């Protein structure tokens, strides 16, 4: 049974899935997401223009269509033998779920900022080559102008603006410093085996922040171990190797990254929870949740360099936060106490006993209120 990955080299989330599929060593082929492929495959299967899309040739008539990166990885984990990217122990598993969320939905801020502030021409050429591979380079560049205008214009919704740029860049350099130091002691976040958190970080760190030239130069200069880690995590693999650290150990570097999550992303998630709860009043179960629920004030940055800015209220990350809280709820009393100690020690005490007021589900490749 094989997989088909539809995506693009320039795509953040395609990089996450491609790296995972290569490590998992499952048979897959990759198809470029050209305009023709969108029309012939993505839109009929998914209903809206998005990548990556994975088609599992599982013997059914049309195969199983998967779209969200977390659902793609979970599907492969359930259907392919071999070691898992999910740690078995409670604290490592909890930390891995949190850091996948942090990578997927918070590091997208510097990823989008650096791309469109410093790498726009490179990215526009890449978009054109993906969508129109049969045109000349100059024609490809011109053809991508509309798409580039859309994506570059979306950075404001993430809170990126002239007043917040310094804080965003300082936070990114702080992250690189912490992660680079950690990689001086460990191959991956939790030992010698990559975890779901490694792939959550890989998406923004490889496809945007390393592969794009200006931000890639910055990473190679400030955090060369992070650059090598990203290249290795994304490279083709030949065997499933490595282990997670024994005794449910949380390395100091991972604790520091969890502190960044608690200080930077968690307040935004909790505020978004309140906005979703207010929107959901009067909505029927199963209702599709809008991609944006207005705007709110958010603090971006780390340490002394923080700034309050307007940011879109984006509910999708709450589905990933729900995975975190549901895992905690599934633990026995002793394991939950161990996890709660880790949360308190890293500044995330608000997740202890936190119950999202609204449960979410994935339906028709979108987020909806649970039935």
Mean pLDDT by 10 residues, the chain (371 residues): 94 97 95 97 96 95 95 97 95 98 98 98 97 96 94 95 97 98 98 97 98 98 98 86 95 98 98 97 95 96 91 98 97 98 98 95 96 90
Within a domain: 50: yes
Name the residue range of residue 75's domain: 2-79
Identify whether the C-beta of residue 14 lies closer than 8 Å to the C-beta of residue 31: no
> How many domains does the chain contain in total?
1
Closest CA to 177 of 94, 72, 253, 278: 253
pLDDT tens track for 239-268:
777 999 999 999 999 999 999 999 999 999
Domain-embedded: residue 369: no
The per-residue pLDDT for 304 is 81
* Residue 356: predicted pLDDT: 93
Q: Are strands 360-363 and 53-57 parallel, antiparallel or unpaired?
A: unpaired
The pLDDT assigned to 175 comes to 98
User: Phi/psi class of residue 280: alpha, beta or left (left: φ > 0; alpha: ψ in -120 to 50)?
Assistant: alpha
pLDDT of residue 303: 82
8 Å CB contact between 328 and 351: yes
Token reading at 88: 């078995």
Residue 24, judged by CB atoms within 10 A of its CB (0-12, 13-18, 19+), counts as: buried
pLDDT in the model for residue 240 = 76
Beta-carbon neighbour count of residue 303 at 10 Å? 11
* Separation between Cα atoms, residue 324 and residue 101, nearest integer Å: 9
- Positions of E strands within 33-162: 53-57, 64-66
Task: Flag whether 280 is in a domain.
Answer: no
Cis before 52? omega within 30: yes
Q: How far is CA 211 from CA 4, 11, 215, in A?
A: 23, 10, 8
- Could you tell me if residue 51 is inside a domain? yes
Q: What is the pLDDT of residue 237?
A: 81
pTM comes to 0.97
Q: What is the pLDDT of residue 241?
A: 78
CATH number, domain with residue 41 = 3.40.30.10
Do 144 and 124 meet the contact criterion of CB atoms below 8 Å apart?
Answer: yes
Inside any domain, residue 146:
no
Terminal CA-CA length for the chain: 32
In a domain, 47, yes or no: yes
Residue-wise pLDDT tens digits, 312-324: 999 999 999 999 9
Tokens 């071999």 belong to 82
Q: Name the residue among 247, 265, 275 with its Cα closest to residue 347.
A: 265
Whether residue 42 is contained in a domain is answered as yes
Question: What pLDDT score was predicted for residue 201?
Answer: 98
Query: Structure tokens of 29?
Result: 């082929």
The answer to the question of residue 6 being in a domain is yes
């Amino acid at each position: 049974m094989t997989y088909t990955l539809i995506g693009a080299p320039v795509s953040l989330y395609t990089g996450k899935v491609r790296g995972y599929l290569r490590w998992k060593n499952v048979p897959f082929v990759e198809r470029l997401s050209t305009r023709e492929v969108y029309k012939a495959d993505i839109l009929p299967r998914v209903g809206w223009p998005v990548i990556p899309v994975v088609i599992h040739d599982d013997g059914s008539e049309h195969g199983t269509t998967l779209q969200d990166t977390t659902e793609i990885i979970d599907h492969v984990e359930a259907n392919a033998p071999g070691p898992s990217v999910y740690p078995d122990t409670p604290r490592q598993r909890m930390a891995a779920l949190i850091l996948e969320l942090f990578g997927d939905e918070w590091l997208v801020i510097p990823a989008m900022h650096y791309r469109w502030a410093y790498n726009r021409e490179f990215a526009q050429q890449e978009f054109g080559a993906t969508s129109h591979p049969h045109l000349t380079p100059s024609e490809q560049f011109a053809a991508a102008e509309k798409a580039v205008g859309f994506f570059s214009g979306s950075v404001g919704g993430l809170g990126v603006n002239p007043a917040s740029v310094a804080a965003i860049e300082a936070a990114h350099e702080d992250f690189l410093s912490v992660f680079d130091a950690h990689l001086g002691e460990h191959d991956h976040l939790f030992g010698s085996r990559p975890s779901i958190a490694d792939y959550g970080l890989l998406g923004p760190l490889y496809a945007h922040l390393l592969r794009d030239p200006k931000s890639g130069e910055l990473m190679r200069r400030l955090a060369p171990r992070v650059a090598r880690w990203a290249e290795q995590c994304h490279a083709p693999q030949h065997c499933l190797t490595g282990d997670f650290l024994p005794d449910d150990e949380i390395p100091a570097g991972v604790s520091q990254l969890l502190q960044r999550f608690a200080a930077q992303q968690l307040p935004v998630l909790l505020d978004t929870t309140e906005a979703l709860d207010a929107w959901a009043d009067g909505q029927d179960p199963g209702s599709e949740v809008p991609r944006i629920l207005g705007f709110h004030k958010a603090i971006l940055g780390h340490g002394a360099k923080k700034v309050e800015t307007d940011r879109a209220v984006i509910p999708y990350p709450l589905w990933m936060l729900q995975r975190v809280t549901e895992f905690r709820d599934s633990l026995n009393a002793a394991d939950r106490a161990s996890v709660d100690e880790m949360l308190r020690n890293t500044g995330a005490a608000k997740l202890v006993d936190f119950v999202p007021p609204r449960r979410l589900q994935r339906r028709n490749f979108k987020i909806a209120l649970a039935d």
